[in-house]
Amino acid sequence: MNRRRETLVFEHPAQALSGRPTAEEWIETFHAQLKERGLKSTAQRDEIAQAFYRMGRHISAEELYGEVKQANPHVGYATIYRTLKLLKECELVSERHFDEGQARYEVLGERHHDHFICERCGRIIEFENPQIERLQQAIAQEIGASLTRHKVELYGLCRDCRGGVNK
Amino acid sequence: MNRRRETLVFEHPAQALSGRPTAEEWIETFHAQLKERGLKSTAQRDEIAQAFYRMGRHISAEELYGEVKQANPHVGYATIYRTLKLLKECELVSERHFDEGQARYEVLGERHHDHFICERCGRIIEFENPQIERLQQAIAQEIGASLTRHKVELYGLCRDCRGGVNK
DNA sequence: TTCCCTGCAAAAGTTTTGCACTACT
DNA sequence: AGTAGTGCAAAACTTTTGCAGGGAA
């Protein structure tokens, strides 16, 4: 394959996170969006949003609940879910369903990327490939559809797991 | 974009289904797989497998349950799920999680394809694009991973819904 | 005859909702 | 003060499991 190397691979969180708004900017946007909708800023919403931002990528509601609980043992699951829903509506967070029972959430507002999921160790590697992006737009056009979002998920064995004992 | 048109779009079930094994071949394979594992063929398994094959594409457990109930009002959900699990193990069925709460299942053994999902009317359009396939392999190589499966899902408005009232 | 399979009901896991109380604005 | 938000518990929804009885090999 004589294609020039276009894919950017984000194996280390620091790489993937570059270009992402700072925690302050992000929370500020959240507050602005709340105000715009006539909704209130509360201590819980801030705690949850901050914990979410701090924890990093591909967080489940359960993990977020655990984290927030440490700072404030009184929060309930309901508030976690309600706040995540709110963050989605404000387009600060996107919800993803990898092949599991539960949803995972990630911070929006950084560069678009897709995911590789290791089927053995569960590691998630992000990558970005402009050709795939272009191709998807072209396909939508052929279908006659407009595209609002898309996802590419690759499943397999990561480098480390390939080198492992079996296979 | 001066790319030549490579995408095959399957908008009509008949197109997507071409090349798929017949119901008889498919059930036969199921029986063979069961025997190989020392498991039994039963009336319920056949009913479920047949209903599944007959119903076509992207079926949920609930829909399948409803269909099978009509022929045999005694079947329970448990048997539906157990049989779907079995069909997956026999690689006759694959499970998919689109962005919904429930899983959907589709017949394997036909050509690989990806999905466009209309966010308004729920219509699912299948397509096949060799470039995307190649690109995904190339990306996996760059990541250093081996690929066992992958999915591309495009979300947006289909041709009909775009033409609709708002937007 | 021996297990495997089935149906039922209960359980488990995730997410949502009703309600009384609390607390932003 | 008024309205939206919170916590709790219960409900809803999807999927899994335990168990006693039934059926394929």
For position A57, what pLDDT does the model report? 79
Structural contact between residues A26 and A69, judged by C-beta atoms closer than 8 angstroms: no
Looking at the predicted structure, is the pLDDT value of residue A13 above 60?
A: no
- Distance separating alpha carbons of residues B58 and B97, to the nearest angstrom: 10
Smallest Cβ–Cβ distance between B153 and the set A143, A145, A151 belongs to A151
Architecture of the CATH domain A19-110: Orthogonal Bundle (1.10)
C14 closest protein residue (CA to C1') = A102
Note whether B146 contacts A162, CB cutoff 8 Å: yes
pTM: 0.74
Contact residues on chain B for A153, CB-CB shorter than 8 A: 150-151
For position A18, what pLDDT does the model report? 58
Looking at the predicted structure, is the pLDDT value of residue A167 above 50?
A: no
Q: What are phi and psi of A148, to 5 degrees?
A: -105, -30
Residue of B1, B92, B13 whose CA lies nearest to B50: B92
Residue of B64, B56, B131, B59 whose CA lies nearest to B95: B59
Note whether B127 contacts A139, CB cutoff 8 Å: yes
Note whether B154 contacts A136, CB cutoff 8 Å: yes
pLDDT digits 0-9 by tens, A155-165? 889 999 887 54
Looking at the predicted structure, is the pLDDT value of residue A27 above 60?
A: yes
- The sign of the CA dihedral A39, A44, A46, A48 is negative
Alpha helix positions (H), B37-122: 43-55, 61-71, 77-89
Residue ranges of chain B whose pLDDT lies below 70: 1-20, 109-111, 164-167
- In this structure, what token pair is assigned to residue A109? 């507002």
Contact residues on chain B for A135, CB-CB shorter than 8 A: 129, 131-132, 135
Protein-contacted bases of chain D (C-beta within 7 A): 4-10, 13-18, 23-25
Q: Is A76 exposed, middle or buried (0-12, 13-18, 19+ CB in 10 A)?
A: exposed
| CA angle, A131 then A134 then A137, to 5° | 150
Domains in chain A: boundaries = 1-18+111-167, 19-110
Q: What is the mean pLDDT of residues A84-105?
A: 91
Comparing alpha-carbon positions, the chain B residue that sits nearest to A102 is B101
Question: Could you tell me the fold of the domain covering B1-18+111-167?
Answer: Dna Ligase; domain 1 (3.30.1490)
For position B56, what pLDDT does the model report? 78
B residues 95-154 lying closer than 8 A (beta carbon) to A: 95, 97-100, 116, 118-119, 125, 127, 129, 131-132, 134-136, 138-140, 142-154
> What's the residue count for chain A?
167
For position A164, what pLDDT does the model report? 52
The residues near B98 (Cβ < 8 Å, ≥ 6 apart) are A97, B104, B115, B117, B124, B153
Burial A25-62 (b: 16+ CB within 10 A, else e): ebbebbbebbeeeeeeeeebbebbbbbbbebebbbebe
- The sign of the CA dihedral A85, A91, A93, A98 is positive
